[in-house]
Amino acid sequence: MEEGARAEELQVQRCRARLDRLAAASAGDDAEWEDIRLKRILVDYMLRMSYYDTATKLAETSGIQDLVDIDVFLDAKRVIDSLRNKEIAPALAWCAENKSRLKKSKSKLEFLLRLQEFVELVKAKNFLQAISYARKYLAPWGSTHMKELQRVTATLVFRSSTNCAQYKVLFEQNQWDSLVDQFKQEFYKLYGMTLEPLLNIYLQAGLTALKTPFCFEGNCPKEDPLSLDGFRKLAEPLPFSKQHHSKLVCHITKELMDTENPPLVLPNGYVYSTKALDEMAKKNGGKIICPRTGEECNYTELVKAYIS
């Protein structure tokens, strides 16, 4: 009972830490808050890819243990490892633990696990055992999943080394892998997590927003993530983002030219920000030299441009 109380306390502490964090989120760009968010997303990714060691280390060094669910994933790890070892028992135990929830979401995980156990018995040529197993455990699922049940029970007739494609598939080793995937999906659904890692979701959204045709030209500034190969590759299947309003970036200062820092036009047609040209004039006694063409002119010859 004390253990139960302790477990509840832990969950309360976690919830509170997350609420506090959300309350602390400021509207603007708070670099530290965003940094912790990034670390949280990375830990989530690592846990899903089973890099438990790195995930724990990262969580510890950043002090975000309350914001990530490492022990929940470690629970799942036990089941996944056992499935990879071709043991059904822990997975079935997990199903029993979460029976009501799984039933609500109409999950057929337990059914698939039982099917696999049946096929294993057939593989080992324990036909009688297989049949009694089927009678005990597979029959209750017959009403909802009859077709699949029939397909799998037909394996009784075939040898495990059969070449008949339909049934060969059922004897394959990678059935276990698909079981692992199925388990993972149920697991994520149960805990209200997204099926894909948070990292992928955020990266996709960000890449789409940042992707413009200009990124692929030669002189893409290094500040743009899409100047890097890795990011370009990831962004390939994603659509470009559409611009509805002009956004001008000064060639000299790399800053945005807006109403506070309006664009100025040189006689040769090249455009730079007021800030940049003011400074240049100050340093050169009123003379302006276009950085891209080398042409010279006077500060007084500059014209203001109004771009909406």
Partner 1 sequence: TLKDEFDHVVKKQKLASSRTIDLVNQIEKEIEQAIGAIQENGTDRDAASNLNHEILTNLKNTLKELVPVKQLESCQKEMNTALGKWVKTTEKFFINDISKAYKNVDMEPHVLNEIIANHLYREALFDIGDNFLGEASCLASIKLKQLFQEMYEIFGALRTEKSEPALSWAMKNHDALLQNDSCLELKLHQLQFVEILKQGKRDEALQYARTYLAPFATIHKDVIQKLIASILWAGRLDQSPYTEFLVPTNWEKLAEEFAQQFCNLKGQSSTGPMGMTVAAGAEVLPILLKLMTVLTAKREWHSMKEFPFPLDLRRDFQFHSVFICPVLREQGSDDNPPMLLPCGHVLSKQSTVKLSKSSSRSFKCPYCPFEALASECKRLYI
Site for partner 1 in 218-237 (CB under 8 A): 220-225, 227-228, 230-231, 233-234, 237
Q: What is the DSSP letter of 171?
A: H
Instruction: Report in angstroms how near the CB of residue 39 gets to partner 1 at its nearest.
Output: 9
Residue pair 277/262 in contact by the 8 Å Cβ criterion? no
CB of 87 or CB of 260, closer to partner 1? 260
- Residue 65 vs 204, nearer CB to partner 1: 204
DSSP 8-state symbol, 85: T
Task: Considering only residues 27 through 86, tell me which ones interact with partner 1, judged by CB under 8 A.
Answer: 29, 34-35, 37-38, 41-42, 45-46, 49-51, 53-54, 57-58, 61
Nearest to 179 by CA among 115, 270, 237: 115
Task: Please identify which residue in the block is written with the tokens 């109409």.
Answer: 106
Closer residue to partner 1 (CB): 87 or 296: 296
**Interface pick for partner 1 out of 214, 282, 284, 287 (rule CB under 8 A):** 214
Binding mask 191-210 for partner 1 (x = CB under 8 A): -x-xxx-xxxxxxxxxxxxx
The C-alpha angle 244, 246, 252, rounded to 5 degrees, equals 145
| Distance in Å, CB of 83 to partner 1, minimum | 19
Residue 307 engages partner 1 in binding (rule: CB under 8 A): yes
Angle at 180 between CA 64 and CA 52, to 5 degrees: 25
Distance CA 201, CA 186 (A): 19
Among 146, 169, 256, 289, binds partner 1 (CB under 8 A): 256
**Phi first, then psi: what are they for 298, rounded to 5°?**
-100, 150
